[in-house]
Amino acid sequence: MTLSTVICIGMAGSGKTTFMQRLNSHLRSKEQPPYVINLDPAVLNVPYGANIDIRDSIKYKKVMENYQLGPNGAIVTSLNLFSTKIDQVIGLVEKKQDGHTHCIIDTPGQIECFVWSASGAIITESFASTFPTVIAYIVDTPRNSSPTTFMSNMLYACSILYKTKLPMIIVFNKTDVKKEDFAKEWMTDFEAFQSAVREDQELNGDLGMGSGYMSSLINSMSLMLEEFYSQLDMVGVSSYTGDGFDQFLDAVDDKVKEYDEFYKAERDRIVKEKEEKEQKRKEKSLNGLMKDLGLNEAKKNDGHESDDSIEVISDLEEGENDGILERDEDEGVEREYTFAGDERMTGEVNEDKTPDLQKRYAEALAATAKSPSSETAENIARYIRE
């Protein structure tokens, strides 16, 4: 069976870490031990054994001291440092995938530090491009019994879905305290949610909806989210008692199939599009260079047709953007240049060196401005053909 990745995301206090502990125990009881990764650098203790722990390589307090950062800034910076080695992390998981069916990932409690940071996107994309990946959005069920709080949480879940573009499961946690039936009803029955909004307004007055405008806004948003709800799987679990985890794993299996059928195909299409655009950009740059050098004319005079399979030196260089690049069309961009190996021009260009630089530039331009001779053009054309 192919290894699937479950990334656990949720608001602070929603029970992500306890959910991870129970999920780990549940899978081990089924003799399917997961590969566990902790990405929260600020946590003191984790109640599960992690195969990869960000705290082993990144010291959160040292990051705060060295970079003079607050708690959230240190979390983001720690994730940034960790993401620079994500290729090694993916390599470790790939080596162990034969012995595991699931890779479960715990994320920081400060949800925005992971979801909206560049490092969070890099980590998520790296796993999603290698393994079938599912987002488990953990919801604190008792705290979402208010229609206003519930709607806020669903809007956040919606934004995460469209940010990550991955299959998502809404996990209503802490069902041992309050059942998730009310939430499932609100997500499937618009009239039931409207009724709950009215009841909350009548019961709490200004402490509830606040105003008729707020009530109208929430009702409108619930209509907008109807399509969003239709694409989700909803599961109620209790990390305390272990109820609902079989249903959660069934939902993960369904989302893995959905990933293979829809999301993977869409990702492959986007990657192919990017490759085609890059190829067209390179061809355009090469054609522009040949035109500048007068090679097209030289080829016509030589009686040879253009060869699309021509290799140039830039094709042998490493890196996606190495070689010939399009000219920078931005005007007024100030740059600093360094001329290595030239004692007269070491360091940046400044007012003292500008006159000398301009004189040398004018001499070089005068020497190279002449059109290449037919013999030179013919030699260059012959080199490219060969």
Residue 241 pLDDT class (50, 70, 90 cuts) = very high
Q: Does the domain at residues 4-189+226-259 carry the CATH identifier 3.40.50.300? A: yes
Q: Which of 33, 1, 39 is nearest to 17 (CA)?
A: 39
Average pLDDT, integer, range 237-262:
93
Token output for 370: 């002449």
SS3 169: strand
Average pLDDT, integer, range 114-124:
92
Average pLDDT, integer, range 156-173:
92
In angstroms, the first-to-last Cα distance of the chain is 50
Instruction: Select the highest-mean-pLDDT range: 107-116, 148-157, 171-180, 355-364.
Output: 171-180
List, as one string, the DSSP characters of 272-283.
Answer: HHHHHHHHHHHH
Angle between helix axes 118-128 and 71-83 (nearest 10 degrees) is 40
In terms of residues, how long is the chain?
386
Burial 344-370 (b: 16+ CB within 10 A, else e): ebeeeeeeeeeeeeeeeeeeeeeeeee
SS3 33: coil
- Rounded CA-CA distance 185/230 in Å is 13
* Residue 87 pLDDT > 90: yes
Residue 230 pLDDT class (50, 70, 90 cuts) = confident
- Rounded CA-CA distance 22/143 in Å is 21
Alpha helices in the chain (DSSP H): 16-29, 60-67, 71-83, 86-96, 111-115, 118-128, 147-164, 181-188, 190-204, 212-224, 226-230, 245-258, 264-293, 295-302, 354-368, 374-385
Beta strands 4-10 and 233-236, pairing class: unpaired
Q: Does pTM top 0.75 for this prediction?
A: no
- Rounded CA-CA distance 170/149 in Å is 15
Average pLDDT, integer, range 279-307:
68
Phi and psi angles of residue 171, each rounded to the nearest 5 degrees, phi first? -105, 110
Token output for 69: 């950062």
Rg from Cα positions in the chain: 29
Phi-psi region of 319 (alpha: psi -120 to 50; beta: other; left: phi over 0): left
Token output for 161: 């879905």
Give the mean pLDDT of the chain: 79
Q: 109 or 363, which is more confident?
A: 109
